Amino acid sequence: MSRVKVLMLRAPGTNRDGDTQIAFETAGAVVDSALVSELFRGEKKLLDYHIAVIPGGFTYGDDISAGKIMANEIRLRLGEDVQKFVDDGRLILGICNGFQVLVKTGILPGIRGAGQQPVTLTNNDSGRFECRWVYLRVNPKSPCVFTRGIDMMYVPVAHGEGKLVAAPGVLEKLNVVVQYTDEKGNTGAGYPCNPNGSVNDIAGICDDSGRIFGLMPHPEDFIRATQHPRWTRERRRRTGDGLAVFVNAVKWARGI
């Protein structure tokens, strides 16, 4: 097939699109960027792409709640296109604000009969913006396409509303992909290993197909060895831990 095409969906306030574009291009994809309003006007079409990604930032200033305005726009004006995109077996990735958008549209967790928005991401328990590096453990039983072959990751977070909470009866149905841990991979380590107080240390989830993935940490910020905060003091790495997420996505999309 031709090169994998990625569409990066932006809105006013998106600010992590540059890093996300570099990550996908490093993984071998061709990346196009568009404001959601361009899709509303038909200037670009979602179904022309293999992967859709909503990067981090503060869309519309997070003035109502993080990601809520963009989520409403996508749900009300692009809902049919998104459903067709998913039904065709394509991939969706939401990072940080993008994860907030995905849960507030109801695209994630994708549990049938669970209501329009059975989970949300709310204010950090610390009551402040958390910007730090965290350890993540990948659930080996997860169907997630993006994390295949990955055991652990060390990547940064930067958010004020990253605490995942779920409606009663929903938590046990979630496809948990990554959890916050200590440096040895143990969950339950508490703050600051879990920077936001997310229930069950959940840092990211996917739908049943494994093709829609949302997470609060930023894998796009650790694709080169020199992005590690201790790269001059520890063993030299070939690549950053986050690059595999994008390589997995591009590899999968080549088979669509």
Tell me whether residue 131 is one of the annotated catalytic residues. no
**Encoded amino acid at 160, one letter:** G
pTM: 0.96
Which of 96, 159, 161, 228 is an active site residue? 96
Signed CA dihedral, 92, 97, 103, 109: sign only: positive
Query: Residue 113's pLDDT is what?
Result: 55
Tell me whether residue 218 is one of the annotated catalytic residues. yes
| Cα–Cα distance, 70 to 85 (Å, whole number) | 18
Provide mean pLDDT across the span 139-168: 96
pLDDT tier at 114, thresholds 50, 70, 90: low
Which of 73, 130, 161, 220 is an active site residue? 220
pLDDT above 80 (res 211)? yes
CA atoms within 13 A on the CB side of 78: 26
**Which helix (H) or strand (E) is 87 found in, with range?**
helix 79-87
CATH code for the domain of 167 = 3.40.50.880
DSSP string, 170-194: TGGG-EEEEEEE-TTS-S---TTTS
pLDDT above 70 (res 1)? no
Give the residue numbers spanning the domain of 234: 5-253
Tell me whether residue 220 is one of the annotated catalytic residues. yes
Please state which of the ranges 31-35, 109-113, 173-177 shows the lowest mean pLDDT.
109-113
pLDDT tier at 256, thresholds 50, 70, 90: confident
> What angle do the packed helices 97-105 and 68-77 form, to 10 degrees?
50
Provide mean pLDDT across the span 18-45: 97
Q: What is the mean pLDDT of the chain?
A: 95
| Cα–Cα distance, 36 to 77 (Å, whole number) | 10
Contact (CB, 8 A) for 132 and 157:
yes
Provide mean pLDDT across the span 137-144: 97
> In this predicted model, what pLDDT tens digit does every residue of 51-67 receive, in sequence order?
999 999 999 999 989 99
> In this predicted model, what pLDDT tens digit does every residue of 173-207 receive, in sequence order?
999 999 999 999 999 999 999 999 999 999 999 99
How many domains does the structure of the chain reveal?
Answer: 1
Q: Strand, helix or coil at 85?
A: helix
> In this predicted model, what pLDDT tens digit does every residue of 236-255 receive, in sequence order?
889 999 999 999 999 999 98
Burial of residue 232, with CB atoms counted within 10 A of its CB: 0-12 exposed, 13-18 middle, 19 or more buried: exposed
Query: Residue 168's pLDDT is what?
Result: 81
Query: Residue 235's pLDDT is what?
Result: 86
Which of 50, 159, 218, 228 is an active site residue? 218
